[in-house]
Structure 1
Amino acid sequence: MGIITGLFTFLYHFPQIYKWLLKPYYIVSFSMTVAFLLVRKTPGLCEHLSSARDDGNSCEFDWRELEILMFLSAIVMMKNRRAITMEQHIGNLFMFSKVANVILFFRLDIRFGILYLALCVAFVMTCKPPLYMGPEYIKYFSDKTIDEELQRDSRVTWIVEFYANWSSECQSFARIFADLSLKYNCAGLRFGKVDIGRYSDISERYRISTSPLSKQLPSLLLFQGGQEVMRRPMVDNKGRAVTWTFNEENIIREFNLNEIFQKSKKLNKSMSLREKQNSRLQSLAGAKTKKQ
C-alpha cells in the first residue's frame, strides 16, 4: 500500500519534478548523481576499469559497491522521513549520492576520485539551487525598513521570516511560506521576510545566529503591536536552537493562524467602515467649502 501511495504521489508531482529537472542546477546535479553508474555501465569504458568481482567482469558492480549503494539508499530514506517539500527530497538524494560517488570513484581509481571531488567543489562554489519565484503576498524588509514597518500600525500582526539565501533549509521553506501568505494575508495579518545573511546587524538585533551550525535558519517571528510575541525555533539557555519542523501544519497550529486570521478579518471590516466614514466626512467638508 505504501509503494502504491508513493507511486501516485510521484505521478501527481511529476509535472513539477519535470520542470525542476529542466533547470541547469538540477540537470548538472542529476548528471553527477549517476556519474559512477554511467562509468561502470558504459560499453567501451567499463572494460578498462578495475574490478573486485571473482568473475572479473568489470562492467558489473562488485559486492563492496553494492554494499555502498544499499547503505546510500538507507541513508536517503532515513533523511527523507523528515523532509517536507519535494525540493528537500530531491536535495537529499543529490547530496548523499554525490558523497557515495566520491567514495566509489576513490575506491575505483584515485585519479577518478580526485577529478570527481574537484568537480563537486567547483559545482558547490559556482551553482546555487534556483530560488522560489512563484506567487506570494510577502513584503521584503531591509535593515532600514523593518522596524518602521513593524511599528507603523499596532493593529497589524506580522509573521516575519529571517532567512539567508545560501541556506538550503530556507530555500526549501520558501514555497511553504509563500503558500501561507496566499492563504492568510489580509490587512490585519501580514507576512514579511528579511535576509539576515545580507543585513548582519539585524541578526544581532534579533539574536539570530547565521552560523550553519546554529540551526536557527530559517527563523519565524510573530510580532504584535511592533513587539515580538513568539518565535520558532526557540532558543534554549545555552543559545542552541530547539529542533522544530517547518511544515505548514506546525506553523498554523503553533502561531494560531486560523484564530489570528478570523480576528484580522473583523479588523478589515472595521478598517473599511472607518475609511468609508472618513471619505464621507471629507466629501461633506468639501461640499461645505464649495458652498462657502
Structure 2
Amino acid sequence: MGLITGLCSFLYHLPQIYKWLLKPYYIMSFFMTVAFMVVRKAPGLCEHLATQREDGNSCDFDWRELEILMFLTAIVMMKNRRAITLEQHIGNLFLFSKVANVILFFRLDIRLGILYFALCVAFVMTCKPPLYMGPEYIKYFSDKTIDEELQRDSRVTWIVEFFANWSSDCQSFAPVFAELSLKYNCAGLRFGKVDIGRYGEVSEKYRVSTSPLAKQLPSLILFQGGREIIRRPMVDNKARAVSWLFSEENIIREFNLNELFQKSKKLNKSRGLKEEDQNGIPPEEGSDELQTESDNPQQPTESKKDQ
C-alpha cells in the first residue's frame, strides 16, 4: 500500500519534477555524472582505451572500476539517509558521482583526468544550483531591520532562519521552511530569514558562525519579545553545532508549532472581541489578519524580500 501511495504521489508531481530537472544546472550535472560510463561504452572510442580485464575487452568495466562504482553507491546511500528533500538526494548523487569520475578518469588516462577535473572546476564557478522561488509567508530581514521587527510587538513570536546563499544545506532547506510558513504563519506567529553571509554583523550579534567547519548553517532561532527562546542546531562548548536533522516533523516538535499556532489564534480572537466591545460593532470581514492568512495559504502576501 505504501509503495502504491508513493508511486501515485510521484506521478502526481511528475510534471513539476520534470520542469525542475530541465534547469541547466541539473542537465549539466547529469551529463557530467554519466561521463565516464559514456566514454567507456562509446563505440569507436572505447576500443582505444586502456583496460585491466583479462579478456582485453576495453569497452567494459574492469574489476577496479566496478569496485569504485560500488563504493560510490554505498556512500550515496549513507549520505541520503539524512537527506530530507529530493534536491538533497539528487545533489548527493551528483556530487559523489563527480568525485568518482575524477578518480576513474585519472586512472584511465591522466589527460582525460585533467580535462574532466578542469570541466568540474569551470562548472562549479559558472553554474549554481537554482534557488527556491516557490510560495512562502517569509519576511526577509537586513542588518537594519531585524532588531526593529523582532522587538516591534512582544506578543508576536518569530522563527528566523539564519542562512547563506552559498550553503547547499540552506538551499535544500528553503522549500521545507517555506512550507512551514504557509501552514503556520499568522498574526502572532511569523517567519523570517536573514542572509548572514551578506550581513556579517548580524552573524556576530546572534552568534551564528558562517564557517563551514562550525556546521551552524542553517540555524533556526525562535524569538519572543525580541529574546531568544530556542535554537536549532544547538552549539557545544567548542562552537560546533550538535548534529540535528532539519525535517519538517522535527521542527514542528522541537519548536511546538502546533501549540504556538493555537495560542496565536486565541490571541487573534481576543483582539477581535476587544474591538467589538470598544466600537460596539463586530470587526469588518477581512480585518482578522490571522483568519485571512490561515484560510488562504495558497495566496502568500508577504513580500519576497524586505531589505
Match of 2:190 in 1: 190
Q: 1:4 to 1:103 in 2, by over 3 A?
A: farther
Match of 1:17 in 2: 17
Mapped pair 1:147 → 2:182: no
Distance 1:224 1:27 in 2: 44
Matches within 5 A, 1:186-265: 186-265=186-265
Deviation of the 1:62 alpha carbon? 0.7
Match of 2:102 in 1: 102
Match of 1:138 in 2: 138
Distance 1:72 1:229 in 2: 42
Bigger Cα Rg: 1
Structure with greater proportional helix content? 1
Match of 1:93 in 2: 93
Deviation of the 1:10 alpha carbon? 5.2
Match of 1:31 in 2: 31
* Structure 1 residue identity aligned to 2:103: I
Distance 1:125 1:277 in 2: 62
Q: Which runs of 5+ in 1 are unaligned?
A: 282-292
* Structure 1 residue identity aligned to 2:249: E
What TM-score, normalized by structure 1, do the two folds share?
A: 0.91
Match of 1:164 in 2: 164
Q: Which runs of 5+ in 2 are unaligned?
A: 282-307
Match of 2:114 in 1: 114
Deviation of the 1:240 alpha carbon? 1.3
| Alignment deviations for residues 216-250 of structure 1 (CA, whole Å, 9 cap, x no partner) | 00000000011110100001122111110000000
Deviation of the 1:16 alpha carbon? 3.5
SS of the equivalent of 1:222 reads strand
Deviation of the 1:121 alpha carbon? 1.0
SS of the equivalent of 1:151 reads helix
Match of 2:80 in 1: 80
Distance 2:47 2:12 in 1: 40
Q: Which region of structure 1 is more displaced relative to structure 2, 9-18 or 225-234?
A: 9-18
Q: Which region of structure 1 is more displaced relative to structure 2, 97-106 or 269-278?
A: 269-278
Distance 1:139 1:92 in 2: 30
Q: 1:58 to 1:127 in 2, by over 3 A?
A: same
What TM-score, normalized by structure 2, do the two folds share?
A: 0.87
Q: Determine what percentage of the aligned residue pairs are the same residue.
A: 83
Match of 1:272 in 2: 272
Mapped pair 1:44 → 2:59: no
Higher RCO (C-alpha 8 Å, min separation 6): 2
Q: 1:21 to 1:221 in 2, by over 3 A?
A: same
* Structure 1 residue identity aligned to 2:160: V
| Alignment deviations for residues 1-48 of structure 1 (CA, whole Å, 9 cap, x no partner) | 998887666555543432221000000000100000111111111111
Q: Which region of structure 1 is more displaced relative to structure 2, 272-281 or 11-20?
A: 272-281
* Structure 2 residue identity aligned to 1:258: N
Distance 1:16 1:73 in 2: 27
